[in-house]
Structure 1
Amino acid sequence: MEFQYENSYEVKEKITSSSIAILPVGAVEAHGPHLPLGTDNLLAERVAQRVADKVEAFVLPTLPYGQVWSLRHFPGSINVSNESLISIIVDIGESLYRQGFRTFAMVNGHLGNQPALKDAARVLFTSCPNMKVFYFFYPGMNQAAKEVRETDSAHATYFHACEIETSYMLYLAPEFVDMSKAIKDIPQIPEDADVTPTPWEVFTESAVLGDATLATMEKGQYIIDIAISNMVHMLTNKEAK
């Protein structure tokens, strides 16, 4: 169910029946030559829609801007601060709570958003004590990716416009992928990049962290379906309590 297409006269009863709101959270940033700037938005909203179908939840309009400090100097990237993200998510969550929602799930398509989403969830824990808040980022993907990837990860945490994320797009939004432009670019990320602010232009010109040419729809389906199953499990377990 898409929340923005409901009307005020009928939505109250539907909220009472569902009580779950899902917010896709993405970003606008460089994703190499073969993926669009809005890749994270597309992934977040299409995963959110699939989860919502399984748990009979409302999908809110996508929050399309994220914290992309690391890529802010690349053409097309639009950065917002953690403070801005926290503020708007708390406002959205408190509005949902007043409307009667008791489960608020953020489906995040951009790793850089996670600190802000976590902090927003902590604020809502206090201000909305009867609402369960989730901040999902492909739960279970790390093990699943290890099982299907053909190249080593360029970084223990980051994945970007590479074999993995391009596979996600081939599964969820193939019409926006141009595999004829996919490249292999495995950068040497400095060891201090995890402990000091490091703009990505220091180690990559393409914003690709891996071999995108190895991406397939099947790899994306395997990982994404596991992540969706995990999200559904947590949401339905919560509702059963």
Structure 2
Amino acid sequence: MVFAANMTWEQYAAKTDGVAIIPAGSCEQHGPHLPLSTDSIIATEISRMVAEQIDGIVLPTLNYGYRSSPYSGGGPLFPGTVDLSLNTMVELASNLLDELLGDGFRKILFLSAHFENQAPILEAMHLAQRRHGTDNQIVLANWWDPLKDSVMDEVFSDIMFPGWDLEHAAVTETSLLMHLAPELVHADKLPAKEAFAVPPYLRVPLQPSDIPSHGALADAVGATSEKGKIIADAAATSIAEICAYEFGVQVKTSVQL
């Protein structure tokens, strides 16, 4: 059992010497083929896989994230994207850290699947250090950051990698959902490539023509469940190894970053 929500308080208290993992997702449009919960599902499932490798505990997922940026998430142009403000996200993450540190955890990992969460969570981490001192370790990892080049070469052996910003609702996320939650993928609606050039600036208000009409920022054709398993396994293994390095915990499977 790794999910805190399914534990009694006694079972939870017995885990405080280990790593507490907070999955950070969002409620954000992911094209016509993926659910609004895509980021949250990915964050939750990879957190579970990491926790199983390091005997950690997974806290309830943050199902709302910081404001969707147009050129990494599509922005507010699509119904269903429900954003938190910067201050709210910082306060939320700060409150969670206060509670976990107060419960006795000294090793905490934020595992994010929403690009925009990085800045507010990092700010909350710094604030926690000021309040609680340095007798604790807090780490933030996006699931995609530690993926090896060899993994990316395998996933994109037959198609072109557009870059992480434009991978929103494209091959990697679609493949992950095909593997982790296939019942939620509308495979008949995979978005194909649409003419789209990212400008070198941001502006408000956004115009509908600023983003591909389907909401995905790159082609999702070429996504498969098999690729999703490769990505999920590699991300979980690499993040577990980060935990071993940063927190000094043991990893159940012997692998190298």
TM-score (norm 2): 0.84
Q: Count the aligned residue pairs.
A: 237
Deviations, residues 170-194 of structure 1 (Å, cap 9, x unaligned): 12222211211112134422331xx
Shift of 1:85: 0.9
Shift of 1:43: 0.7
Residues 147 and 238 of structure 2 are in contact (CA less than 8 Å); yes or no, is this contact kept in structure 1? no
State how far apart, in whole Å, the 2-side matches of 1:110 and 1:29 are.
Answer: 9
Shift of 1:10: 4.5
Asked if 1:15 is matched to 2:10, the reply is no
- Residue in structure 2 matched with residue 181 of structure 1 by the alignment: 189
- Residue in structure 1 matched with residue 7 of structure 2 by the alignment: 6
Unaligned runs of 5+ residues in structure 1 are none
Shift of 1:229: 1.3
Asked if 1:96 is matched to 2:96, the reply is no
Q: What letter corresponds to residue 120 of structure 2 in structure 1?
A: A
Asked if 1:148 is matched to 2:155, the reply is yes
TM-score (norm 1): 0.89
Shift of 1:224: 2.2
Deviations, residues 134-161 of structure 1 (Å, cap 9, x unaligned): 1111232373334422333444533111
Q: What letter corresponds to residue 60 of structure 1 in structure 2?
A: L
Deviations, residues 27-78 of structure 1 (Å, cap 9, x unaligned): 1111111111111111110111111111111110111001225322201110
Q: Which range moves more in the overlay, 64-73 or 41-50? A: 64-73
Residues 137 and 247 of structure 2 are in contact (CA less than 8 Å); yes or no, is this contact kept in structure 1? no
Please state which structure has a larger fraction of its residues in helix.
1
State how far apart, in whole Å, the 2-side matches of 1:52 and 1:197 are.
Answer: 40
Q: Secondary structure at the match of 1:213?
A: coil
State how far apart, in whole Å, the 1-side matches of 2:171 and 2:40 are.
Answer: 18
Structure 2 residue aligned with 1:111, among 110, 115, 121?
115
Unaligned runs of 5+ residues in structure 2 are 250-257
State how far apart, in whole Å, the 2-side matches of 1:73 and 1:177 are.
Answer: 22
Q: Secondary structure at the match of 2:167?
A: coil
State how far apart, in whole Å, the 1-side matches of 2:216 and 2:88 are.
Answer: 27
Q: What letter corresponds to residue 97 of structure 1 in structure 2?
A: L
- Residue in structure 2 matched with residue 50 of structure 1 by the alignment: 49
Q: Secondary structure at the match of 1:49?
A: helix
Asked if 1:122 is matched to 2:137, the reply is no
**Compared CA separation, residues 62 and 211, structure 1 to 2 (3 A):** same
Q: Which range moves more in the overlay, 29-38 or 127-136? A: 127-136
RMSD: 2.1
Q: Which range moves more in the overlay, 56-65 or 212-221? A: 212-221
State how far apart, in whole Å, the 1-side matches of 2:83 and 2:191 are.
Answer: 25
**Compared CA separation, residues 142 and 37, structure 1 to 2 (3 A):** farther
Deviations, residues 68-104 of structure 1 (Å, cap 9, x unaligned): 2532220111011122111110110111011110111
**Compared CA separation, residues 29 and 156, structure 1 to 2 (3 A):** closer
Between the aligned residues of both structures, percent identity stands at: 26
Residues 124 and 133 of structure 1 are in contact (CA less than 8 Å); yes or no, is this contact kept in structure 2? no
State how far apart, in whole Å, the 2-side matches of 1:239 and 1:216 are.
Answer: 34
Shift of 1:169: 1.1
Asked if 1:196 is matched to 2:202, the reply is yes
**Compared CA separation, residues 10 and 157, structure 1 to 2 (3 A):** closer
Q: Secondary structure at the match of 1:107?
A: strand
Q: Secondary structure at the match of 1:134?
A: strand
